Each structure stands twice: as C-alpha cells, then as structure tokens.
A and B are shown apart, each in its own frame.
Chain A
Amino acid sequence: MSLDPTTLLAIVGMAIGTYLTRINGLVLVRRFPLRGRLAAGLEAVPGAILIAVIAPTVLATGIAETVAALVTVLMARRLPTLVAIIGGVGCVVLLRALSAGR
C-alpha cells in the first residue's frame, strides 16, 4: 500500500468539507422553528436517506440480493441485529451460489 500526496490531500479536503456540512445542518435548523410539516419532513429524512443508499443494491442487483434483503428485514423484526446481519449475509452467499450453479 502506498500513499499518494494527492490522495491524502483529497481525503483531508473531504474530511473538512464533510465536517462543515454537518455543523451547517445544526446552525441552519436553529434559525427555523421546527413544527408541523417541516418537523414531519425532517423526521422522514433518516429513513429516506438509509433506504436511498441501499435501494440500488437491494432492488436492482439481482434476485439474490432482493430475497436476502427481505429475509434480513424479517429476521431483524424478531432477532438481535447482529443475528439478522449475519443471517442476511449468509442468505446472499447461499443464493448467489445457487444462481451461479445453474
């Protein structure tokens, strides 16, 4: 592994940029009263971002990923999180092996 100065500079720059956007979120929200529809919209943000990040993986990669995602959700409702994650990963490995074997 080698470290290129340009890469290092890019990482440091991204770190500063990311930190500024996070502080910005706090500062901006303090200027607006949070209630009604604005609060409801803000409340929907965490779930919406999470599902947006994984939507292509879960819905547009293949049948193995989609089925494994369903299994993960069903497990997560009843079992500890770690069990559900391991179960989901195991499920995707199994289904990929099955679909590759055909």
Chain B
Amino acid sequence: MGAALSPHLGRFGVGHKATAMGLLADEVWALAVRRAGERPLTPAYYAGLALPLWVMWVSTTTAGALIGDGIEDPARFGFDFAFAAIFLCLLVGLWQGARRSALPLAVAAATALVAHWTIPDVWYVFLGGLAGAITGALQPTADHAAANPDTDRDDVG
C-alpha cells in the first residue's frame, strides 16, 4: 500500500510520511489514491481523511468488542456484507475505463478466487493483488499510461 501511494506523496515531509503510514487503513489508502487521481494529495487533506477515520475505527471497534457478544449473528443484519459493499464503492471510484482497468481487475479477481479455493489462509489477497499488478504492467495499454512521463515528452518533441 505504501509503495502504491508513494508517487503521490511529493508534498509530504519525512515526519508527514511517517505519521501518514501509521494512520494508513485500507479505506484511507483507497480514498487517498482516488483523490490523487483528481488533484495533488496534500498533508492537510490526508489528515482530514485519516484522523476522523482512525478515531471512529478505534472507538467503534472498542464498542464492538464490548457489546458484540450481544449480537448473535451479524449476518442477519447484513453487517458482514457492508465490508464488501464499501470496497465495491471504492473500486467504482478507482475505475479508469475498461481499456486500463478491466483486465487487471478481472485477473486479480480470478486469481484470488482460485487461490481462495486451493490455498489456506489469506494468501489469495496477496496473490490476487500481485496478478493484477503484473497484468497492469504487461497489458498493451501500459506503454501509454498517463503515469509515464517519458512517452508524454516524446509526443511533444
């Protein structure tokens, strides 16, 4: 996660970066990457994003641990699906068009599914992410990715 966010941390000092990594939760990371796609990421935006989420996260987790025993089956209220729903919304925000996003996401999902069925524990997250990254690097559109400053310069020259 840190590696993927790193190109967008140009406005962060060393102290900012160290703090930012400590507050980096999945959702914070996804929203920060989404923001960085629209405009440069600033320490102030990151703090406004990460601090309230961190406070909510720790306080509601504490509350959940204290009173959670009283809820017999979280699935009855669909709470278990809220997690997947949040990630799906984040994915919609990260979508960069079928040409760039479709193939890496499809490969990542398929790899994760196969790994989930064949390998114990949560290796499917790592393997799915890795397969998606490799697909993103190797697919034909990768050469013309917006993140490639060299080809942009060639076009101008």
> A: which residues have CB within 8 A of B?
1, 19, 21-26, 28-30, 34-60, 65, 68-69, 72-73, 76-77, 81, 84-85, 88-90, 92-93, 96
Contacts A22-B24, A49-B128, A77-B92: A1 and B113 contacting too (C-beta < 8 A)?
A: no
Contact residues on B (Cβ < 8 Å of other chain), bracket:
35 or more
Interface check B66, CB cutoff 8 A: yes
Chain A residues near B26 (CB-CB < 8 A): 50, 53
Q: List 22 A-B contacts (CB under 8 A).
A: A1-B69, A24-B2, A25-B5, A44-B135, A44-B137, A46-B1, A47-B91, A48-B128, A49-B108, A49-B125, A49-B128, A51-B105, A51-B112, A52-B112, A52-B129, A55-B109, A56-B113, A69-B85, A73-B88, A88-B84, A89-B78, A93-B77
Chain A residues near B148 (CB-CB < 8 A): 35-36, 39-40
Interface check B71, CB cutoff 8 A: no
Contacts A30-B6, A52-B109, A55-B124: A47 and B101 contacting too (C-beta < 8 A)?
A: yes
CB distance from B137 to the nearest CB of A (A): 3
> B: which residues have CB within 8 A of A?
1-7, 9, 17-18, 21-22, 24, 26, 29-30, 33, 65-66, 69, 75-95, 101, 104-105, 107-109, 111-113, 116-117, 124-139, 141-143, 145, 147-150
CB distance from A70 to the nearest CB of B (A): 9
B143 engages A52 (CB within 8 Å): no
**When chains A and B are docked, how far (Å) is the Cα of A69 from the Cα of B89?**
10
